[in-house]
Amino acid sequence: MALLPLEGLSAIVTGAGRGLGRAEALELARLGAAVVVNDYGQPGRDGSGEASAGPAEEVAAEIRAAGGTALVHTGDVSDFQQARELVELAIETFGKLDVVVNNAGILRDRMVFSLTEGEWDAVIRVHLKGHFNTTRFAAAHWRERSKAAGAPVYGRIVNTSSEAFLAGSAGQPNYAAAKGGIVGLTTSSALALGKYGVTVNAICPRARTRMTEDVFAGFEEPAEGLDPLAPEHVAPLVGYLASPAAARVNGQLLVVHGGMVAVVERPRVQVKFDSKEDVFGFEELETVLGTHFAERPEGETFGAAEVLGLKRGRE
């Protein structure tokens, strides 16, 4: 009997009690991984409400009912020590950690001129610091194992960015900044950890969850046929990136939703100007850049949204 793609591997999925994280945890378990289901369990998408083990317990029970192996961790990954305990739980239980899927996040939406310091800090803390915390301890584990073995080991990190970073999102300066920071964390970590056998990639998922319920208002689940916005359609890409089959995929950003995966190219120079003198002065810059931008269509900004066929706003 052929082994499943993730047979014998252990994985952590953060924010796995609902939505995308739930779908990802179920998919990793279906592919054979033993999964630590992490979720702080607060009911509000803004991180409000009393924490509960209920959501994580339900997902873990679903995995076990299907014949898989699952543990529950209800800590807050934005807390450095609790993230350490999460990674240690996987290592102590399964002997090693192989996969980390960083998905946990909250929203505190507001226009930049109205955003409070607390709203900024909360979103950056859960998304960006939460991704860093788990990455930090998992990376140390893999580095130590690799040094002890004198060879690369197996390690996979899948981070969660957003099209709010790619295309802009007027009412989410904190969220867009956090998701952009996650891409930077991804590419830096990919370069640092590649020699140890570890790959680090990020996805921009488009799915209907409680985090995006207002964005996809009017795009309800169809009565029949394929629902392109179902979280379950994102999960297979996460399973692939977590698998041995994706050994050569590292430092990449991929947009995914039902029936579509797009590999995002790193930024390239669109046009270059050379000064007629040794260096540019104000007047010459006004001439060359002023002319260049005056010739572009009014309102045109970055091209990622148009290339990927995205609409403006968080997706």
Supply the residues annotated as catalytic. 162, 175, 179
What DSSP letter does each residue of the chain carry, written as one string?
-PPPTTTT-EEEETTTTSHHHHHHHHHHHHTT-EEEEE----SSTTS-S---SHHHHHHHHHHHHTT--EEEE---TTSHHHHHHHHHHHHHHHSS--EEE----------TTT--HHHHHHHHIIIIIHHHHHHHHHHHHHHHHHHHHTS---EEEEEE--HHHHH--TT-HHHHHHHHHHHHHHHHHHHHHGGGTEEEEEEEE---STTSTTTTTT-PPPSSS--TT-GGGTHHHHHHHTSGGGTT--S-EEEEETTEEEEEPPP--------SSSS--HHHHHHHHHHHHHTSPTT---SHHHHHTPPSS--
How far apart (Å, rounded) are the C-alpha atoms in residues 301 and 140?
A: 40
Three-state DSSP at 72 gives: strand
Kindly report the number of other CB atoms within 10 A of residue 192's CB atom. 14
Parallel, antiparallel or unpaired: strands 253-257 and 70-73: unpaired
Distances (CA, A) of 254 to 156, 159, 176, 186: 15, 10, 16, 12
Kindly report the number of other CB atoms within 10 A of residue 163's CB atom. 26
Kindly report the number of other CB atoms within 10 A of residue 272's CB atom. 5
